[in-house]
Amino acid sequence: MRRQILVCALGLVAACSNTKTATKTDAPMLSPSAAASADLPAPAIDAQAAVEAPDASQAAAEARPDASVPPLVGANLIAPAGALFRVAACGGAASTSGLEATPTAVPAGFDAPMIDAHCKALAQMYVDYKKNWMTVAMPFIARLVPKDSPKTVVYPFGGGDAMGALATYPDATEYTTISLEIAADVRKATGAPRPQLRAELARYRAVLGKYFDKAHSRTDNLDLGTKSVLPGEVVFDLVALVLHGYEPLSVRYFRFADDGSLVYVTDDELSAADAAVKAKRRKREDVDGELLRNLEIVFRKKGDASAEPKTLRHIAMNLDDVHLRADPRVLKHLEAKGPKVATMTKAASHLLWSDSFSVIRDYLATHSDWMISDSTGFTPAFAKKAGFVQDTYGTFTWPEPFGLVDQKNAEAMRKLFLANPHVDVSFRYGYPDKDAHGHILVSRKPSVPAAQP
């Protein structure tokens, strides 16, 4: 759910959600040749490579900005995002009618039979995930989350897991995920060669299949997605909207002012950057890293114009102490959200166990009275020092060897689960333990009553 730090370079991190080399599951990556062999109709070969500066105009006539959304500051890329919502996440596809009530056509410029075949395969994966995880896990989690939980969610090490955030806090109105991975350019799918797009769609089905099975994402998949014609962070976020019955209203990119406020990327900035890439004065990946790092999606319940809009933001940031102290703008932004927020983390490579991540850990401890996690949350020693009590659910014998696991904290976590009353958990929430058991750790202030699941 991330630039390398020293401890990861020393080989202590097998699955570090704050590193580029880390993995969060054992999900395999499909090579282009393997992905192309997926059971899809062979598209006609398009000899034209993707243009240097993607033009979204031909692909998304069906996805104009919603008239109910007031004019926004900055470039609203809802047109190419709407195309990606339909093409990659299959929002509105006839084959996902169980999730989307009103089918919509494949946008112009895309191979309709190829997209329909992709969506047919993805639809069954959606149905299975809803049945096997969402309908099982969400009611259980809902019995744990306090009824008066803040409506603003902060999810460190949560890149690619808007699905988890929406499942945990479905009543929230603002979600912020943070990880190393940049959002990348939502316009890249437009004009992509059909064989390349076909291979990428197959790869995402494989990656999503592993997520649906493991309930957490894999960092190297997300990082690879930043270089794909289907930007990984964006695709995962749009899949989350489809699964939970939402539709995007606006899509913007932003950076931070010195005080932590948001500065939205403008159409003029994008046009100038595209021209520089076309003239070979700049590289596309440099533009992505500068202008298209951080993403904001405003969304609402699909087909309900009266529904309250919600906001999802993804921030690309290394959360170790060195980076947060060197560039405090992200922390200032988080502080501005108020004295208390709803918090969560999972599949976080046990980074919060390390004093190298004390700044974000202290933020979580001082700005939340209740946090849900897997074993990668607060250690028992830190929780006690910060004034939390901890409730455990499921079985935990020893951590998976992902990230910053140390003997002392692992033993303390094992003893905590043994000492607390046992409550069965039949699903995974982030990492399992080393024996594949699902488990949940709740850290709460004593003033917050214990749940009765």
Q: Measuring CA to CA, which residue among 346, 326, 393, 339 is closest to residue 365?
A: 339
Radius of gyration over alpha carbons of the chain, in Å? 21
Q: What is the pLDDT of residue 275?
A: 97
Q: What is the pLDDT of residue 123?
A: 92
Taken in order 132, 133, 138, 140, the sign of the CA dihedral is positive
Contacts 24+ apart (CB under 8 A), 408-411: 409/350, 409/353, 409/379, 409/380, 409/381
pTM score, whole prediction? 0.84
Are residues 119 and 99 in contact, defined by beta-carbon separation less than 8 angstroms?
A: no
Q: Domain containing 219: what range?
A: 6-41+54-326+333-444
Assigned domain for 366 exists: yes
Assigned domain for 145 exists: yes
Q: What is the number of domains present in the chain?
A: 1
Q: What is the pLDDT of residue 47?
A: 28
Q: What is the pLDDT of residue 23?
A: 34
Assigned domain for 253 exists: yes
Q: What is the pLDDT of residue 367?
A: 98
Q: What is the pLDDT of residue 191?
A: 86
Q: What is the pLDDT of residue 213?
A: 81
Task: Write out residues in the chain with pLDDT < 70, as ranges.
Answer: 1-70, 96-102, 215-227
Assigned domain for 337 exists: yes
CB within 8 A of 158, min separation 6: which ones?
1, 164, 165, 177, 178, 179, 344, 345, 346
Q: What is the pLDDT of residue 179?
A: 97
d(CA 313, CA 309): 13
Q: What is the pLDDT of residue 299?
A: 98
Assigned domain for 49 exists: no
Helix (H, G, I), strand (E, B) or coil at 81: helix
Assigned domain for 449 exists: no
Distance of CA 170 to the CA centre of its chain: 15
